[in-house]
Amino acid sequence: MEYIDAHVHVWTDDFDRYPIAEPHQQSDMKPATFRPEELFVHTESSGVNRVVLIQMSFYGFDNSYMLDVMNQYAGVFSGLAVIDWNGERPEAEMRRLAQRGVRGFRIYPKDAPIESWLDGRGFERMFAAGAEHNLAICPLIDPDALPALDKRCEQFPETPVIIDHLCCIGANPPIRDAHIDQLCAMARHPKVMVKVSAFYALGRKTPPYDDLASLIQRVYEAFGSERLMWGSDCPYQVVDQTYADGIGLVRDRLDFLSESDKNQILRKTAEDFFF
């Protein structure tokens, strides 16, 4: 079976063509490079043949490297960009990048007060453009950021939203039932999806990640497999652990998933939206 990895970062040491954005430095890039060819070493043995790229923070709002990789390997990669949501017309940049194959836009609270992190005209314009053009808003957040997101989803029910990494539940252990309840409550918004991803960073952070099974089951029961997609979060998944460890949890170890569910989470949800 062929799978899709819905969350991968790539970067290069070609700093002349792709300069690093402040305040990042070359020393922040660990590993020093993670080009598509380095990714394929891991994906091919696991049956993954398509990938959603996530703009790397090293490059700030300059999505050039990701776009060039998408163009070089047409049909293999889709993309999720980062833009300046405080700019005057972020929706114009969303439309421009959508013409280059970008399907979503990562957002996060930065230093804003968590209860109001989604306030402001920029985010309002982004959510409106997401609804109009079927472009996803993709929050990298902890559970405490969900109330503000819930309000925006209520305001813009037609905007696709994809929450990264199980809302980072268990990134700072323990995994709390209250946090799972908060995430599962977001299922009331039909356009909200969740990435079942970055297992190396959640819970015990140790393969085979069986401690995450109950969390994933709760989210599966709330959203259904048709709103879940798997992602590795490479290269971080393969720094100290293996690519097979990540995909193996969904493919081999979650006995509450049917074969159809596994196919949906490992391929079809991402395929339907990103490809």
Instruction: Render pLDDT for 96-121 as a digit per residue (tens, 0 to 9).
Output: 999 999 999 999 998 899 999 999 99
The average pLDDT across 134-149 equals 98
Q: What is the mean pLDDT of residues 258-274?
A: 98
Residue 156: pLDDT over 90: yes
Per-residue pLDDT tens for 188-244?
Answer: 999 999 999 999 999 999 999 999 999 999 999 999 999 999 999 999 999 999 999
Task: With a cut of 90, say whether residue 249 has pLDDT above it.
Answer: yes
The CATH number of whichever domain residue 172 belongs to comes to: 3.20.20.140
Residue with tokens 């990042």: 24
Of the given ranges (22-26, 78-82, 150-154), which has the lowest mean pLDDT?
Answer: 22-26
Order of strands across the sheet with 192-197? 3-8, 48-54, 77-81, 102-107, 136-139, 161-163, 192-197, 228-231
What are the tens digits of pLDDT across the range 5-58? 999 999 999 999 999 999 999 998 999 999 999 999 999 999 999 999 999 999
Q: Is the pLDDT of residue 1 over 90?
A: no
Q: How many CA atoms lie within 13 A of 238 on its CB side?
A: 17
Domain that holds residue 181: 3-274
173 — pLDDT class (breaks 50, 70, 90) = confident
At 54, give phi and psi (nearest 5°): -110, 125
Domain count, the chain: 1
